[in-house]
Amino acid sequence: MSDGSDRNDAVLVGRFRREFNAFWNRGDWHDDDRPNDEWDPIADAGISALRRGDLDGAVHAIVHYVSDEMELEVSSRTESELRRFLSDFARSAGWTSTHTPANSRSPLSEPTPADVEGERPGPAALWNMIDDFCESVRPSARVNETQLAPRLRAVQVVPNNQHAIPLSIVVGPDEVILGLGHDGCRFELSADDAPTRSKIREILEAARNGRAEEETWRRSSECRVWLADGTEVSTRTIHGLTLRSRRGPSTVRRYEPYDPSPMTS
């Protein structure tokens, strides 16, 4: 009786490899010199976890394989699109609940109200700083706070001035991911120590006051901000998988302050 089930499962595995390869070869996701058939091992790296309904495990396995075995960098944009592809395939294949323990929802299922209304992770001092900043920009920006997971919370700041820089602050128990601009640039910082919290506030104020610019190449972006003392800090992100992220021309977007009149602080 298991022959039919096993045969159907083998068909799904084959289909997954074909669709994964088609997905992975779209656009500028990989180095042009690499052969297309090199992506089969990447698909195989994540399929075991995906068949169990473990989306996070599948994403982690694939990213780990690409980073460690192929020595390529996976951007946040690529990882997000990978997660969406894996989730869609798992639903269509019926892999969303395989081997899921009783009384435990699948990682591929929709968030529950508890996920949306969970407690804020990280130190209270960090959230006091974030609340203070958000309150100060609220007249000139829209602020939205959401719960991404039980121990992961995000704050989005979208300025009314369309020429000012949008911000995102994602807080976990030990880490803060500070996103700037439109192309995925972000700082990954510790949430625990006071000097880092002070640096986060300085970066937020610099962005708010228009001391920021974003440079975009075909395969990467870099965001630069200038603190009140003139110090430049920057962060760069890679779009897809590539070893040649800064080749070719670039465009530079120089941001304006949130408020109509420039601030000096």
Burial category of 69 from C-beta neighbours within 10 Å (exposed 0-12, middle 13-18, buried 19 and up):
exposed
Q: Are 249 and 127 in the same domain?
A: yes
Residue keyed to tokens 């091992």? 41
Joined tokens for residue 89:
């395939």
Per-residue model confidence as pLDDT tens digits over 190-229: 888 888 889 999 999 999 999 999 998 877 788 999 999 9
What is the length of the chain? 265
Domain end (from 59, 93, 127): 93
Full residue range of the structural domain in which residue 32 is found: 2-93
Any domain includes 265: no
Domain end (from 60, 93, 126): 93
Any domain includes 101: no
Q: CB–CB of 175/104 below 8 Å?
A: no
Q: Are 121 and 184 in the same domain?
A: yes
In this prediction, residue 101 has a pLDDT band, given cuts at 50, 70 and 90, of: very low
Q: Are 122 and 163 in the same domain?
A: yes
Query: Quick one: average pLDDT of 77-96?
Result: 81
pTM over 0.85, yes/no: no
Any domain includes 108: no
Q: Are 190 and 247 in the same domain?
A: yes
Q: Are 126 and 250 in the same domain?
A: yes
pLDDT of residue 249: 82
Q: Are 66 and 148 in the same domain?
A: no
Any domain includes 176: yes
pLDDT(40) > 80: no
Q: Are 134 and 34 in the same domain?
A: no
pLDDT(83) > 50: yes
Q: Are 86 and 118 in the same domain?
A: no
CB burial of 235-255 (b: ≥16 within 10 Å; e: otherwise) equals bbbbbbbbeebeeeeeeebeb
Q: Are 119 and 88 in the same domain?
A: no
Query: Quick one: average pLDDT of 31-50?
Result: 62
Any domain includes 109: no
Any domain includes 165: yes
Q: Are 80 and 124 in the same domain?
A: no
Q: Are 134 and 227 in the same domain?
A: yes
Q: Are 154 and 246 in the same domain?
A: yes
Any domain includes 100: no
Any domain includes 217: yes
Per-residue model confidence as pLDDT tens digits over 53-68: 778 778 877 877 777 6
Measured CA distances, 15 to 9, 235, 252 (Å): 10, 38, 42
Nearest to 212 by CA among 259, 173, 252, 261: 252
199/123 Cα distance (integer angstroms) = 15
Residue 256 is classified by DSSP as: B
**Higher pLDDT among residues 118 and 249, named by residue:** 249
Count up the domains in the chain and report the number: 2
8/153 Cα distance (integer angstroms) = 40
Q: CB–CB of 240/206 below 8 Å?
A: no
